[in-house]
Each structure stands twice: as C-alpha cells, then as structure tokens.
Amino acid sequence: MQKRSSRVGVEDRWHRSARRDEQVHYPADGGAPTWCMDPKHGTQGSLVCTARHGQGKRWLARWVDDDGQERARSFDRKSQAQAHIAEITTRLTSGSYADPHRGAITFETVATDWLASKVNLKPKTTAGYQSILQTVVLPKWGEVKLKDLDHAGIQQWVSWLARNPAARTRKSTDTHRTGLSPARVIHAHQVLHQVLRYAVRSKLIAVNPAADIQLPRKDTKRDKALSAQQVAALADAAADCHPMMRVMVYALAYGGMRYGELAALRVCDVHLQRRRLHVARSVTAVAKQGHVESDTKTHQERMAPIPTFLADMLTDHIRGRGAGERLFPHRDGGPIPLDWFAWRFQRACDAIGLEGVTPKTLRHTAGSLALETGASLATTSQLLGHKNPFITASVYSHSLPDGLDTLAIEMDKMARTAGNRREVTPGDLGIG
C-alpha cells in the first residue's frame, strides 16, 4: 500500500463553511444546520455550526507523518494549533520528527533493541554494557516511558550516583565514601546517552534528554614508568615467583603489548631472526564466558620489536615446542589469567619496594623507554599499537623533550643581538 505523503493543516472543529445551495437556518427559526451567532467565534451568520459546536477544544492540528500515519492534536486557540503545526512542519522538513505515540514505549525495551543492534562489539564490551545496564541504569529508568525522560531528571540522577552512598551496590564500611566513582558514573551516562541517541535515530523521540549533562570530573593521574634498571630488578624478583614471569615481564616492558595481547601469543608468533613478535590477537576474561579470544583493541595487527637479549630468552623458552602452543601457557594449556600474573607481579613489586605499579605500568614503560632512546612518535605509536601518533603524543607528552628552554635561549640571543646593534628607539615601539 502506498503511503500518504506528509502534510499538515489546522481545522475548526466547531464550524464549517456553507455548502453550495445549502439551506442554513438561523437558531431562532429552528431546523438544522444553523448559523453560528456567537460573536466570539467570528462574524455572525458566516459559519455553519457542526455537531461538535461548543464541545471540547475548538481547533484541531492535523498532520500526516513520515510513515504515512495521520496524527492530530486539539487546542483551545487557533494560534496554539498554528504554532504546533509550524513546529511539526519544521521537524518533518529537518528529519527530526518523532511520533509522540511511539514515545510511550519503555526505556528497557529500547535498550534491549539498542544492545541487539551492536553486532560488532567485542564480548567483553557487550558484557560491560549489560552489566552497567542491569546494575545502574535499568533499576532507575527501565520502566520509564521514553516521553517521560527529561534533562532535569537525568541530571539529578547523575548527581545522585556521584554523591549518594546508596548508589553503590556493594556497600562499604568506609564512612567517607560517597557514591560511585567518576569513571562508573560517566560510563553509566554514556550507555544511557547511547540508548537515547538510538531512540532519536529510530524517531521514537525528537531530542536526546541525556545530552549536555554535567558529569563528575575523572581524576587524571599520570601513569608511572619504570627505568631499565627497575625493570631488570622487577624481572629478577618475578622469576622467584615463577620462572616464566621473567620473560613475561621483559616482553611487556620492551614489547609494548597489552596484557591480553601477550596472553594470546603463540609460539608461531615469535620471529627470532627478525626479532619481532606478531601481535594479532587478544584474550579477555568475560563474565560467564571465561577467556574469549578476538582481535586487538584497535582491530589491527602489528609486529612488535624485541631486543636481542629478550630474543635469546625466547629462543630457550620455545625450544622443542609446537608452533600452535601458547607462548605462555597456563596449567591447562590455555592463556594465563590476568589475576594469576597480577598476584605474582605484586609479590615481586613488594619484594623490591616498588609502589603504585601495576601490570599496565609495563606497557607505559615500553613507550617511555622507546622515547628515551630517541624513537619518534610515529615509531613509538607503532610499537604500542595506537591508532595514530596523536594518541601517543597526548599520553606521553611529559616524556617528550621540552623545547621551551631552547626557545627562551634563542629569544634571549635574538634580543641581545638586537640590543648590541643599536639602542631601541621610540619608533621601534611605534611611538611618535
């Protein structure tokens, strides 16, 4: 069936024009139809009364939406109906129109459809969305109709999450704790915002009420980087926890890999002659699914360089092993869980007095050591698997050479040279 084209208009529900050759009576004469004699409605004797005369709201705004469905809304005044039609016309023309009846569905229904539409997400990302929806977002908004969500309500909810201890699902005995962490609050808002943006694209609502919400500020701490001497001491201490830990620590500190990328490596990924590690996969622990292997975070493969001393270690480590085996296998032959590594890593840190260090520190160390050797941003970005050098520059800006001192020295030389040539005159300063 062909859809009706979009159109709009305002109708008078109380009156109509007289039809050709129609016999219209005055009220005093009796009979029907009759002329309207109310001066407030218009010129007396010019409009024919309808069966609705004097009942309900007089003016009807009527339009056909993009789906070919006829919609209508009644108003007391003609100016109100005309203003509404003008707004509807603008929305239909700009493509921002949303059927008010479709806004009656609940947020949870839309959230389910939104999550089902995310077909290219990694399992851990999907699990993260499901978790934040079930524990934070849906308890508040699940049964609320889309049309009832407003900006003020969402702002109040975000503030409550950040400040009220009742927002925490895991209760704490710490009397100084407030609400959720800034990162958790921001994540919850991001998911809410994405669901509502999906609703806007689906023309369920006209605007996103979660836009422009004031969010808590996330603490920005500069990642710590270790020196080459600290890495060596840490690797020695880690070897006391498990022999394989030494090679793993060096691989992370000099290969620039994320832990999941290291855990996904197989023997065939080691290219000893070229001194490279082929980084193409990543392993992630997903709730209720165990370890899931997929492509890397940036969906790109890369060849990570390794120093000669590490290549020698890997030569002994893979000798006599099959190409398809895990480079660092767990007891069952699968990938080594992060908590297995992290527990032994922490013991090694405690043994040598390192504080504020996590497995992620080793990746940051790789970037810092690379820049320290004089590697370019592009090379360091390639080592770390960043999408572009701009990310590397923003993360490692503190490790880059500071050109301000050089600039100050050169400007001083310029000023002294100018001063030695002649005295500064008022003309030089644009005076006189």
User: What CATH number should be reported for the domain holding residue 137?
Assistant: 1.10.150
Q: Of the residues 43, 75, 97, which one is the last residue of a structural domain?
A: 97
Same domain, 238 and 386: yes
What is the predicted pLDDT for the residue at 1? 45
Same domain, 393 and 319: yes
What is the predicted pLDDT for the residue at 395? 74
Same domain, 291 and 312: yes
- Give me the long-range contacts of 79-88 (CB less than 8 A, separation at least 24): 81/10, 82/10, 85/8, 85/9, 85/10, 85/61, 88/8, 88/61, 88/63
CA distance 191 to 199: 12
Contact 383, 256 (CB under 8 A): yes
Closest among 360, 345, 391, 346 to 223, alpha carbons compared: 360
Pairing label, strands 290-295, 281-286: antiparallel
What is the predicted pLDDT for the residue at 399? 61
Identify whether 29 is part of a domain: yes
What is the sign of the dihedral through the CA atoms of 24, 25, 31 and 32? Answer: positive
How many Cα neighbours within 13 Å face the side chain of 147?
Answer: 10
Identify whether 242 is part of a domain: yes
What is the predicted pLDDT for the residue at 206? 83
CA distance 162 to 200: 27
- Give the pair of three-digit tokens for residue 95: 């493509």
Same domain, 30 and 133: no
CA distance 253 to 232: 10
Same domain, 246 and 388: yes
Domain count, the chain: 3
Domain that holds residue 125: 107-201
Identify whether 405 is part of a domain: no
What is the predicted pLDDT for the residue at 376? 85
CA distance 34 to 268: 94
Q: Of the residues 97, 123, 138, which one is the last residue of a structural domain?
A: 97
Same domain, 116 and 56: no
CA distance 61 to 78: 9
Identify whether 219 is part of a domain: no
What is the predicted pLDDT for the residue at 400? 57
Bridge partner list, 305: 276
Same domain, 254 and 376: yes
Closest among 307, 250, 299, 249 to 279, alpha carbons compared: 299
Same domain, 278 and 308: yes
Contact 63, 100 (CB under 8 A): no
- Give me the long-range contacts of 290-295 (CB less than 8 A, separation at least 24): 291/263, 291/334, 291/335, 291/337, 292/122, 292/123, 292/124, 293/264, 293/335, 294/122, 294/123
Identify whether 404 is part of a domain: no
Give the helix ranges, DSSP H, for 265-424: 308-318, 338-352, 359-372, 377-384, 389-395, 404-421
Identify whether 426 is part of a domain: no
Bridge partner list, 25: 34
Q: Of the residues 184, 201, 218, which one is the last residue of a structural domain?
A: 201
Same domain, 178 and 307: no
Closest among 109, 176, 115 to 145, alpha carbons compared: 109
What is the predicted pLDDT for the residue at 4? 52
Same domain, 17 and 155: no
Task: Please state, in angstroms and as integers, the Cα–Cα distance from residue 387 to each residue in 282, 354, 378, 384, following that order.
Answer: 16, 31, 10, 9
Identify whether 420 is part of a domain: no
| Cβ neighbours of 383 (radius 10 Å) | 25
Same domain, 49 and 85: yes
What is the predicted pLDDT for the residue at 421? 52
User: Locate tokens 């947020």: which residue?
Assistant: 107
Contact 334, 292 (CB under 8 A): no
Closest among 256, 231, 259 to 246, alpha carbons compared: 231
Identify whether 270 is part of a domain: yes
What's the burial of 36, exposed, middle or buried (CB within 10 Å: 0-12/13-18/19+)? buried
**CATH number, domain at 380?**
1.10.443.10
Strand order in the sheet with 59-64: 7-12, 59-64, 70-75
* Grouped pLDDT means (10 residues each) for the chain, 432 residues: 63 94 91 93 93 94 81 92 88 71 84 91 87 94 92 95 85 68 94 94 88 87 86 96 95 94 95 94 84 86 92 95 95 93 96 93 91 86 85 69 66 74 52 54
What's the burial of 408, exposed, middle or buried (CB within 10 Å: 0-12/13-18/19+)? exposed
What is the predicted pLDDT for the residue at 431? 55
Same domain, 55 and 196: no
